[in-house]
Amino acid sequence: PVLLDELRVRVPKNKTLKYASVNGKADPVITEVDGEKLYHWGVRNRAELPKDDDRPSKEELRLQVMLSTFPTWDAVGTWKQKLRKECWTCAPEVRKIVGDVTRGKETQIDKAKALTYWVRRHVRYHSRGPGGLGYTPHLPHQVLSNRYGDCKDQAQLLAVMLKEIGLPVWLVTLGTVDDGQILPEVPSPWGSHAILLTKIDGQEYWIDTTVSLAAWDFLPRSDRDRQTYVTRDSELKLMKTPLF
């Protein structure tokens, strides 16, 4: 149990702050301090979370506040486009792998499968945690040289490969189960996982490059029915991943 839980955020007076509470009500008290706005959330006497086995995800039980200084989802899309500007170059060594892996494959779906399996088997997933680069992936040729990377490194490499064979690719950002859902009412670049979305013959295929032993377009439980934002160039769309 928690007697008192508080959150304070101070922003410039003219700065937009979007916020929403999850799994309960928590409204901020807003005051002005030295020409800035101070948002203060406070709740008292929160009951202890249940410790039963097989309980719902903690993201469904915990009172949370999500907040962001991005005013719109368009602003998030523009930010991500600038962030990834240098990440879409298909270096010669990457192009060679694409040619070798897809040689003899006649259909786009066979090529996409082969490239997905190649990335999964040859680029080891390694989550770098707080010491990593945050939202910025390594460049694809660097990931290829290192032969390891986190989810956004792997996804960006595969995205460049799929684009090289002429497929449309969207970068997908989501919060996995227990990390929390993206909220459409709070535009934010936040997410805890990166996957891909492509279309082949009008059908959508969602790809998680961190999955080791599964079909190329299989989504694990932690990725299913999650609110996401997907980006392609400066375009951004809010979408949900499929159920099982």
User: What's the pTM value of the predicted model, to 2 decimals?
Assistant: 0.92
Helix (H/G/I), strand (E/B), else coil: 65 = strand
Q: Chain-wide mean pLDDT for the chain?
A: 94
Q: Worst-scoring range by mean pLDDT, 46-55, 203-212, 229-238?
A: 46-55
Terminal-to-terminal C-alpha distance of the chain: 35
Mean pLDDT in residue range 41-69: 91
Over the stretch 65-108, which tens digit does the pLDDT of each residue have? 999 999 999 999 999 999 999 999 999 999 999 999 999 999 99
- pLDDT over 70 (residue 132): no
Task: Check pLDDT > 60 for residue 131.
Answer: no
Confidence (pLDDT) at 185: 97
- Residue in the block written with tokens 């602003």: 75
Per-residue burial over 137-164, b if 16 or more Cβ lie within 10 Å, else e, is bbbbbebbeeeebbbbbbbbbbbbbbbb
Residue 54's pLDDT is 84
Q: Give the pLDDT band of residue 136 (cuts 50, 70, 90).
A: confident
Q: How confident is the model at residue 57 (pLDDT cuts 50, 70, 90)?
A: confident
